[in-house]
Chains A and B, each alone.
Chain A
Amino acid sequence: MVHSELSRRTFLTGIGLAGVGGLGAALLGGCATSSSDSGGGSSATLTLQSSLSDPSPKAALTKVVDGYTKTKVTLNTIAIETFRAQLPTYLNSATPPDVLTWYAGSVARDYASKGFLLDVSDLWTGSGACAGFSPALKELSTGGDGKQIFIPTNYYWWGVFYRKSAFQEWGVQPATTWDEFIALCKALKAKGVAPISMGTGSTPWVASGWFDYLNLRVNGAQFHRDLLAGKHSFDGPEVKAVMEHYRELLPYIDPKGRSYSWQDAVTPLASKKAGMYLIGAFITQSVPKDVVDDIDFFRVPIIDPNVPVAEEAPTDGYFASAKSKNVDGAKELLSYLASAPAQELFIKESASSNLPTSPQVSTTGFSPLVQKGIKLLNESAAITQFFNRDSSDALQSTADTALTKFLDSPGDVNSILTSWQSAAQKVLTS
């Protein structure tokens, strides 16, 4: 009897410990396993890790990669929000993917400064694939040590998008000044339409769109860059002025957007339940086909005419991992992706309104909307990227917390900005 009790006790303790041990292994095993399953960079095949998970860009990149015959390329498409969260881990793993999609600017520089990125300077000189690209693009693709670490392949503009036919039905006009814009919002609201759509649910970074633009309009491009580089404080008077303007918009932002992703929030715009959407030109890939020609945009209204007009023109492309086992193969793949035919094929297939970085791609055949976008950027005094691209993915997450909180409780703006500053400080000094 005593015997059986004892063995039962040992058994139960065993179960408990095994359970706890298993838990620990599950928690910590994450560190060990997630680094090995994302890689796969043998010298024979190249791995291209892609964040282009929306249907049309994904199909477009698949086509582009299919056209590459020199080396076998495995295209790994990851849902973008997962990709964003795990990118540091991909780069940090023992066998990282050879080539990855991501963004030009500080965000790439940030990864380069950690030693994650392959030096691709030779593609920018002589007969390299990027040698003919503009100096501005080269500057954008250059790391802190003067070496190029990024291959830009397309970029796009931001604007306030709307449906022409809807504005006609409602009898309203695009706004050029802040007062006109607020009046426009009021008019739309009076008609029972949500004036501004904004999907900040699973894509909270969208809230940074208005933040960035109001900052550009109130404080200008240089302040935007300095703020994101940590030279100004998020609880300073300049940012408070930005939030004042943001607060004026809040009554006009569709509250349902807090549950939507940016893609979901396109639906109210397309079905004329919402009037406007400040978003990138990639919006056209999420609009139903029969609505695309009805989509137009206008420049974010001017607030202070003395501030030189700046626009965001985020640049997309690729970088390669410093630990790639097949450096030459990775560079050849990058050269192919940067080539004019590959750029043209991608833009055509992806149904987005992105612009090519290669001067050899003719844009004359592009849609009127895209022509208008090119004109918008040409008429701007300064070009910026976007909050995360002008800083880092880590700083973006502090903005997401602060801005979504602000959308819910604008009255707490001062305490929100204070904790934003201390969170940003932590990121900038780490």
Chain B
Amino acid sequence: MWLFLLVPAAIEIGLVFWPALNSFYLSLTKWNGLGAPEQVGLDNYRDLFSDDVFREALGNNVIWAVGFGGLSVAGGLALAVALNKPRRGVGIYRSAIYLPMVFSLAVTGLFWRVQYQPDGTVNTLLGAVGLESLERQWLADPKTALYAVLVAAVWRQVGYVMVLYLAGLKGTDPSLDDASAVDGAGPWQRFWYVTWPQLRGVNTVVFAVTVIDSLRTFDIVWAMTQGGPYHSSELLSTYMFQQGFTFLNLGYASAVAVVIFALAILFIITYLVRTLKEEVA
């Protein structure tokens, strides 16, 4: 029996842990991919924190995690609750909202890039309702570029979170809801005190998925702005890519990767520890 475990373990170690550990090592070197990496100690990390672009990308990642996580969870939950009760045509709505999820992030990015063009749908709609003053070059304006990409990413993610919560809501006990309704609890009270506590398991999954998705966001930013204009929509992942594959600073890029890894592990472990404590208590 242990023998059977060895095979997946070997694959996991060879394909996941070894490359991961390797990048920790690379982050302590200066390497352009050719020849032997040159040991530089913690220089890459020192450079990182005096690098304006890195700091901007880190800040953008925080905005991204909060915005992407908050909006897609709030939106997905609201939609799931609204579309949970079976009624005529609800399946069409659910499928329609889930539909963007089947497109790759790159396609989503291209689709939204067209909407955001100076004469695209977004500006045309704003003009049609008399809000010409709000019209702008969404992706070319450093003040709006990141948020414009964020909206596109949430548009896609919200259906996914909705499906997760719909599954969670199916697992709740309807008799509890009915009983509390008989006891005179309002809809908000029923949701907050009866339904929400039963969704704890789903919440953990949604949180993990959202944090990981937000930290690994790359393709949609790359497809829409490539981190521009002048790094204003740069995320850690796009900056890592640029450093690693355009400038061939593989050591420096690995240092960025390690920072992303540390952030992910920090969030996930903190959250898991908290959830598990609550469960035990």
Q: Show the binding face of A for B, using Cβ within 8 Å.
A: 5, 8-9, 12-13, 15-16, 19-32, 34, 81, 84-86, 88-89, 92, 114-115, 201-202, 204, 255-256, 258-260, 393-394, 397, 400-402, 404-405, 408, 419, 427, 430
A31 CA / B243 CA spacing, docked (Å): 12
- Contact B246 A86, beta carbon cutoff 8 Å: yes
The residue that A256 contacts in the complex, of B118, B242, B261, with Cβ under 8 A, is: B118
A254 CA / B280 CA spacing, docked (Å): 63
Is B137's CB within 8 Å of the partner chain A?
A: yes
Distance (Å) between the CB of A340 and the closest chain B CB?
36
- In the complex, identify which listed stretch (B63-71, B72-80, B247-255) lies at the interface while the others stay far away: B247-255
Query: What are the 7 closest A-B residue pairs judged by CB atoms, nearest first?
Result: A258-B140, A24-B20, A92-B33, A256-B118, A28-B23, A25-B16, A405-B230
Question: Given A16-B208, A394-B246, are A8 and B279 neighbors across the interface (CB < 8 Å)?
Answer: yes
- Contact B246 A430, beta carbon cutoff 8 Å: no
- Contact A20 B268, beta carbon cutoff 8 Å: yes
- Contact B140 A201, beta carbon cutoff 8 Å: yes
- Contact B268 A16, beta carbon cutoff 8 Å: yes
22 sample A-B contacts, Cβ–Cβ < 8 Å, listed by A number: A13-B276, A15-B208, A21-B12, A23-B216, A23-B264, A24-B23, A27-B23, A27-B257, A28-B22, A28-B254, A28-B257, A30-B241, A30-B244, A92-B34, A92-B248, A114-B32, A114-B34, A201-B140, A258-B137, A259-B117, A393-B246, A397-B246
Distance (Å) between the CB of A201 and the closest chain B CB?
6
Q: Is the interface of A mostly helix, strand, loop or mixed?
A: helix
- Contact B228 A404, beta carbon cutoff 8 Å: yes
A85 neighbours in B (Cβ, 8 Å): 226, 241-242, 245-246
B242 neighbours in A (Cβ, 8 Å): 85, 397
The residue that A259 contacts in the complex, of B139, B250, B268, B272, with Cβ under 8 A, is: B139
A10 CA / B233 CA spacing, docked (Å): 38
A205 CA / B137 CA spacing, docked (Å): 19
- Contact A201 B216, beta carbon cutoff 8 Å: no
Distance (Å) between the CB of B278 and the closest chain A CB?
12
- Contact B23 A88, beta carbon cutoff 8 Å: no
What is the chain A residue whose CB lies nearest that of B47? Answer: A426
* Contact indicator per residue, chain B 139-152, by CB within 8 Å of chain A (1) or not (0): 11010000000000
- Contact B276 A9, beta carbon cutoff 8 Å: yes
- Contact B261 A27, beta carbon cutoff 8 Å: yes
Is B17's CB within 8 Å of the partner chain A?
A: yes
The residue that B268 contacts in the complex, of A19, A394, A419, A430, with Cβ under 8 A, is: A19
Distance (Å) between the CB of B172 and the closest chain A CB?
18
Question: Given A12-B272, A29-B19, A430-B249, are A404 and B216 neighbors across the interface (CB < 8 Å)?
Answer: no
Total A-B Cβ pairs within 8 A: 147
Distance (Å) between the CB of B110 and the closest chain A CB?
11
- Contact B257 A22, beta carbon cutoff 8 Å: no
A430 CA / B251 CA spacing, docked (Å): 12
Distance (Å) between the CB of A160 and the closest chain B CB?
23
- Contact A25 B230, beta carbon cutoff 8 Å: no
* Contact indicator per residue, chain B 5-26, by CB within 8 Å of chain A (1) or not (0): 0000000100111011011000
* Contact indicator per residue, chain B 29-52, by CB within 8 Å of chain A (1) or not (0): 000111000000000000000001
Question: Given A16-B268, A115-B34, are A31 and B276 neighbors across the interface (CB < 8 Å)?
Answer: no
Q: Show the binding face of B for A, using Cβ within 8 Å.
A: 12, 15-17, 19-20, 22-23, 32-34, 52, 116-119, 137-140, 142, 204-205, 208-209, 212, 215-216, 226, 228-231, 237, 240-242, 244-250, 254, 257, 260-261, 264-265, 268-269, 271-272, 275-276, 279-280
Question: Given A13-B272, A201-B140, are A81 and B261 neighbors across the interface (CB < 8 Å)?
Answer: no
What is the chain B residue whose CB lies nearest that of A9? Answer: B276
B271 neighbours in A (Cβ, 8 Å): 16
A13 CA / B140 CA spacing, docked (Å): 42
- Contact B226 A27, beta carbon cutoff 8 Å: no
What is the chain B residue whose CB lies nearest that of A24? Answer: B20
Q: What 15 new A-B contacts, CB under 8 Å, besides A23-B264, A30-B245, A419-B52?
A: A12-B275, A15-B204, A16-B208, A19-B208, A20-B264, A31-B23, A32-B19, A34-B245, A92-B33, A258-B137, A259-B116, A394-B246, A397-B247, A401-B231, A430-B247
A88 CA / B250 CA spacing, docked (Å): 11
- Contact A202 B208, beta carbon cutoff 8 Å: no
The residue that B269 contacts in the complex, of A16, A89, A258, with Cβ under 8 A, is: A16
- Contact A27 B208, beta carbon cutoff 8 Å: no
A408 neighbours in B (Cβ, 8 Å): 142, 229-230
- Contact B229 A405, beta carbon cutoff 8 Å: yes
B208 neighbours in A (Cβ, 8 Å): 15-16, 19
- Contact A23 B215, beta carbon cutoff 8 Å: yes
A422 CA / B116 CA spacing, docked (Å): 33
What is the chain B residue whose CB lies nearest that of A394? Answer: B247
Distance (Å) between the CB of A33 and the closest chain B CB?
10
- Contact A259 B140, beta carbon cutoff 8 Å: yes
A401 neighbours in B (Cβ, 8 Å): 228, 230-231
A60 CA / B124 CA spacing, docked (Å): 38
A66 CA / B196 CA spacing, docked (Å): 64
A9 CA / B275 CA spacing, docked (Å): 9
A21 CA / B249 CA spacing, docked (Å): 23
Distance (Å) between the CB of B199 and the closest chain A CB?
15
Distance (Å) between the CB of A23 and the closest chain B CB?
5
Distance (Å) between the CB of B198 and the closest chain A CB?
16
The residue that A31 contacts in the complex, of B16, B19, B34, B118, with Cβ under 8 A, is: B19
Question: Given A19-B268, A114-B32, are A31 and B140 neighbors across the interface (CB < 8 Å)?
Answer: no
A15 CA / B229 CA spacing, docked (Å): 37
